[in-house]
Structure 1
Amino acid sequence: MKPDAFVLTGSFLVICRAPLYLQELSRRGLTILVVTPSVWREQALVQTADPDHPASAITEVAFVDGDVNTENSFTAGVISSVRDWRERYAIRGVYAVGETLVEPTGLLADALGLPSPGLRATRACRSKYLQRWYLPEFSPASTVVPPARRQSFDADAVRYPVVVKPTGRHSSSGVETVADAAELRAQFGSYLPHETVLVEEKVAGQEFSVESLVQDGRLFFASVTRKETTESGTRCFVELAHSVPNDIEGVDDVILDANRRMLEALAFRNGIAHAEWRVAASGRPYLMEVAARTPGDGLSILYLLATGVPLEPAIVRIALGEPADYPAPRRYARQVYLEHEPGLLADVTVDWPGIVPQWVGEGGLWPEIEPGAPEDPPALRAVLVTKDPGDLLGPLHSSDDRAVSFLIDAPTAAELDELELRVRQAVRVHTLSPAEPAGARM
C-alpha cells in the first residue's frame, strides 16, 4: 500500500518560516513532500538533514528550475517531479504556501482531484493582467503592454499619473508611479525584455487587504486588514504596516461585499485568498491584486494574535477536504516595518523590558509567538531583524528592502495606536556609511 502524502510547494524559505504546516501534517502521520525552486537546494539539503530544524519533517524535496519573472517557467519541472511521486505515494492534498508555484500547484490538484482554488483562480491569481481581464468590475482603467508592444506604445496618449506594474512579480517589485511620458518610457526600459507590463490609472485612497477562507465555494471567513505604504513620499508601494482587523469605520461592508463577488467571479473553490484593495474618495473599492496562497510578511502571526487561533491548521483541513472553520478577531494586532537610514546595518537596539531583537536574517526561522487572552494588556510580542549585520540597507523600493519590524497587539484599537508610538521610540536601527569604521556607532 502506498503511504499517504501531502505536497507543499513554494519558496523553501516561506515553507520553513511557517512551520505549523509541517507540524500539522506530521501530526496527521502524512509523508511531507516539498517542491521548491532550485535556488533553495543548498539550504534545503542542510536544513532537512538537521534533526533540530522543522524541515527535518520533510521526507523528499524536488528542486525545479525556472524564473519567477517568467510565466509558466516552473510548470514542467513541477509536473515531472510529482508524476514520480504519484507512482510511489497516495497524495491526499497539495498546497502552495508561497507565490512562486501557485499556478502549477493548481494543475496538480486538478489532475489529482484534490481541493484547490481551481484552475481559473490559480492562473489568474498569478497574473495581474488576467485579473484585469476576469475582473473588470473591480479594476482601475488599464492597458496591457506585451514585450513586443513596448516600443510602439503611445506614451503621450496616457493620462498621468499612472502606476506601472510587471505582471508576474510579487513583493511590490517593479511597481512604480510615473508622472509623464518620459518617465514611462524610462520605466519600460527597466523591465526584463520578456516581461508583460500593466499601465493603469493611479487610484488614490486607503489601502486594505482581505484574507478569506473558502471551502467548496463557500466563503466562511473574511477579515479586512488596514495597510500603510511608502507611496505618500516615494514612487513605490512598499508596505510599512498591517493592522488586523481594520480599525477604520464605515468601509468593511463595502470591501467585504466586493471581495465576495470577486472570489465568485474567479470561481474560487478551496483555500485562502489574500486580496489587496484601495477605496477611493467616492467609496468605490478597486482591486489592486489577489493571491491564492498564505498572506506574506507577518500576517499569519497577526491573525494568531488577533483571534488566538493559527490559520495553518484550517488551511490544511481545507486542502484535505475536511470541515474547516475559523474564529473572528478578538484583539487588535499590528506589524510595523521601520524605515531606516541607508547604509551598512550595524545594530538594532530595543529599550523594552523582556524584549531583545530577534536576528532572523533573510532565511532564518521566526520565533514562536503565543497569543494573549482577549483582555490582556497591550503587548510588544517581538522585534524582528530580517537582514544580517553588515548588510547594505538602501532605499525602500520593494518589500525585500525592509530590515526591521515589530509585532504588537492590544484589546482596543486606541490602545494599539498608543503602544505603537511607544515602541517606535524604543527601537533604533543603527547604520554606518560604507566608509565608516565598524563600531563607530555601537
Structure 2
Amino acid sequence: MTHDPRVLVIRPSKEREAALRTLARTGAEIVVADHPDNDLSGFADVQLPLPRVPTAFRTGTVGELEDRILAFHATRPFTAVMADFDYLLPLVGRINERAGLRGHTERSGLTCSNKRLQRAALDRAGVPQPRWTVCQDTGAARDFAKSAGWPVVVKPADRAASCAVSVVRDEAALERAVGAAFAESWERDVLVEEYLDGPEFSVEAIVAGGRVTTVAVTGKGIGGRTGVLKLDAEIPAPLDGQDRAAVERVAADAVLACGLLDGPAHTEVRLTADGPRIVEVNGRIGGVFISHMVRAVTGIDLYQAWYDVLHGRTPRLDVERRGFAVRRCVSEAAGLVEAVDVGAPSAELASRHLLTRCFVHPGDRLAPIENGNEMRAAVVAFAPDRAGALAAADALAANLVIRTAPGDGQEEI
C-alpha cells in the first residue's frame, strides 16, 4: 500500500462496535459511510454522509451510494473497505474492483449475499447442502414439500440474519410463510429448501490468498417459537475430533466455492445423519457477539485479522486455548416493557461475566418475534471449564428480567 491506512466502514451496526474499536487501535483513519443519524459515527475520523442505505437497495438507487464513495476515494484513497451486512457485500466488491483493493469481489459478494446464487455455486462445486428450488408461488413450494418431505424451510434469497425465514411443518402454514418471504425479498427472489435435521454449528474462519484457516467452531442453539430464533452458542463447540474435522472441511470447501479469497467467513453447517451439510456461507464475521467469544477463548481478534488480510499482512491466527464461552439469548419476552432488571451477581459470577446487552427499553411495545435476527437481550459468560461457563451463562440469563405490564398476557422472562 502506498497510502497511510484509511479504512472505509459502510453502515456500521451497534452490535459491531468492536470492529471500530479494533480499527481505532490500529491507528488507521476511519471513514464511516452512512446516514448521519448512525450512533457509531462518533468513531469516525471522517464521516461520509449517505442517504439511508437500506432504502437505496429497496429502491434500486445503490449506484448513487457507489458514486459518492468512489468520488471520495478519488481525493482521499481508501486502503480497505469493510462492511458487516450481507446485502452490502456486492457493493463492497465493486468498490474493491474499481479501486484495486483486497477483499470481496463483486462475484464473491453476490454469491455470499444471494442464497439462490450461493446454492447454485455450491451445487457446481459438489459441496453437500440441502435440496432446494426457486419458489415462484405457494404451488411450487407445495410441490417441492411433497417431494422432499415436511418440514421445509422457506426464505427470501436476498436477505440475511434469518429475516423472514420459516420452518414450515405442514401445508396449512405454507402460504403465510411464502407470502412473508416474498414481502421481505427486495427482488421477490424466494427459495424453498429441504429441512436439515441435526445440530447446527458455525465455522469462524479467516481467508488469506485463498487459504482458509479455521479459528473456532461454534455450537449453536436454533429454534424457539419460529424454529429459527437464535438461542444459545458456545465456543469451542462440543464436537469430537472426527466430526469437527468434517465440519471444518466442508465449510472451507463452501467458502472457496463462493469465490471468497481474502476476508472473514462465518459458515453455518448442520451435522446430519449423512454428514455435514451447508446451511449458508456468510462472507463476514459472525454476529451476536461471536467475535467477543472467539477473542475470549482463542486470543484472536477477528477484526484485527480481517484488517491485516485486507492490507496484505499475515494475520496472527495461532490459537491460545483459554477456556470456554457460552451465550444465552432472550427472545420470547413480549408486551409493553415496564422495566429491565439486572440482579446483583455474586463475586464468582461477576468474574465469569463477559457481556450483557439488552435491546429493549421501558416503554417499548414488543410484538412476538417473527425473524431470526431479532432478540430481546443476550448474555455471554466465560470460564476455564465448560461446565462453569454453562452454569454462569444460565445464571446471568436468569438475572436479566424483562418486566412487562400487567394485562398484556405476558409473563416475566
Structure 1 residue aligned with 2:32:
34
Aligned counterpart in structure 2 of residue 346 of structure 1, from 313, 324, 338 = 338
Could you list the per-position Cα deviations for residues 100-131 of structure 1 after superposition, in whole angstroms to 9, with x for gaps in the alignment? 31111011112222111333321100011111
- What amino acid is the match of 1:426? N
Determine if contact 2:229/2:331 at 8 Å carries over to the other structure. no
Structure 2 residue aligned with 1:360:
none
Structure 1 residue aligned with 2:192:
199
Q: 1:104 to 1:210 in 2, by over 3 A?
A: same
Determine if contact 2:335/2:405 at 8 Å carries over to the other structure. yes
Deviation at 1:76, TM superposition (A): 0.8
Determine if contact 1:220/1:325 at 8 Å carries over to the other structure. no
Determine if contact 2:165/2:372 at 8 Å carries over to the other structure. no
TM-score by length of 2: 0.86
Structure 1 residue aligned with 2:268:
276
Structure 2 residue aligned with 1:225:
218
Higher mean alpha-carbon deviation, 153-162 vs 191-200, is at: 153-162
**How far, CA to CA, are the matches of 2:287 and 2:154 in structure 1?**
22
Q: 1:41 to 1:130 in 2, by over 3 A?
A: same
Structure 2 residue aligned with 1:214:
207
Structure 1 residue aligned with 2:238:
247
Note the 1:6-405 alignment, pairs <5 A: 6-13=7-14, 16=17, 18-25=19-26, 27-28=27-28, 30=29, 32-36=30-34, 40-43=35-38, 48=41, 53=42, 55=43, 57-65=44-52, 67=54, 73=60, 75-136=62-123, 137-145=127-135, 149-150=136-137, 153=140, 155-156=142-143, 158-159=145-146, 160-190=150-180, 191-192=182-183, 194-231=187-224, 234-250=225-241, 251-282=243-274, 284-328=275-319, 329-353=321-345, 379-405=352-378
- What amino acid is the match of 2:133? T
Structure 2 residue aligned with 1:371:
none
Deviation at 1:315, TM superposition (A): 1.2
SS at match of 2:203: strand
Could you list the per-position Cα deviations for residues 282-309 of structure 1 after superposition, in whole angstroms to 9, with x for gaps in the alignment? 3x11111111122111111111211234
SS at match of 1:79: helix
Q: 1:66 to 1:314 in 2, by over 3 A?
A: closer
TM-score by length of 1: 0.81
Determine if contact 2:152/2:194 at 8 Å carries over to the other structure. yes
Gaps of 5+ in 1: 356-375
**How far, CA to CA, are the matches of 2:8 and 2:297 in structure 1?**
29
Q: 1:278 to 1:15 in 2, by over 3 A?
A: closer
SS at match of 1:138: coil
Deviation at 1:151, TM superposition (A): 6.5
SS at match of 1:170: coil
SS at match of 1:158: helix
Q: 1:59 to 1:321 in 2, by over 3 A?
A: same
Deviation at 1:34, TM superposition (A): 2.5
Determine if contact 2:90/2:107 at 8 Å carries over to the other structure. no
- What amino acid is the match of 2:293? L
Could you list the per-position Cα deviations for residues 21-69 of structure 1 after superposition, in whole angstroms to 9, with x for gaps in the alignment? 44135x14x3x22233xxx43345xx64xxxx4x2x3312231455479
- What amino acid is the match of 1:332? F
Deviation at 1:154, TM superposition (A): 6.3
SS at match of 2:226: coil
User: Is residue 2:384 matched to residue 1:411?
Assistant: yes
- What amino acid is the match of 2:169? A
Higher helix fraction (1 or 2)? 2
Higher mean alpha-carbon deviation, 332-341 vs 312-321, is at: 332-341
How many residues align structurally?
A: 398
Determine if contact 1:2/1:89 at 8 Å carries over to the other structure. no
Q: 1:276 to 1:381 in 2, by over 3 A?
A: same
Could you list the per-position Cα deviations for residues 153-174 of structure 1 after superposition, in whole angstroms to 9, with x for gaps in the alignment? 3624533221100111122111
**How far, CA to CA, are the matches of 1:255 and 1:390 in structure 2?**
44
CA RMSD of aligned residues (A): 2.9
Could you list the per-position Cα deviations for residues 362-396 of structure 1 after superposition, in whole angstroms to 9, with x for gaps in the alignment? xxxxxxxxxxxxxx996122322111212122323
Q: 1:77 to 1:418 in 2, by over 3 A?
A: same
Deviation at 1:399, TM superposition (A): 4.1
Q: 1:350 to 1:219 in 2, by over 3 A?
A: same
Gaps of 5+ in 2: none
- What amino acid is the match of 2:8? V
**How far, CA to CA, are the matches of 2:339 and 2:25 in structure 1?**
36
Deviation at 1:279, TM superposition (A): 0.9
Determine if contact 1:241/1:335 at 8 Å carries over to the other structure. yes
- What amino acid is the match of 2:325? A
Structure 2 residue aligned with 1:358:
none
**How far, CA to CA, are the matches of 2:355 and 2:138 in structure 1?**
48
Deviation at 1:253, TM superposition (A): 0.8
Determine if contact 2:90/2:105 at 8 Å carries over to the other structure. no
**How far, CA to CA, are the matches of 1:65 and 1:426 in structure 2?**
37
**How far, CA to CA, are the matches of 1:203 and 1:269 in structure 2?**
28
Deviation at 1:435, TM superposition (A): 6.2
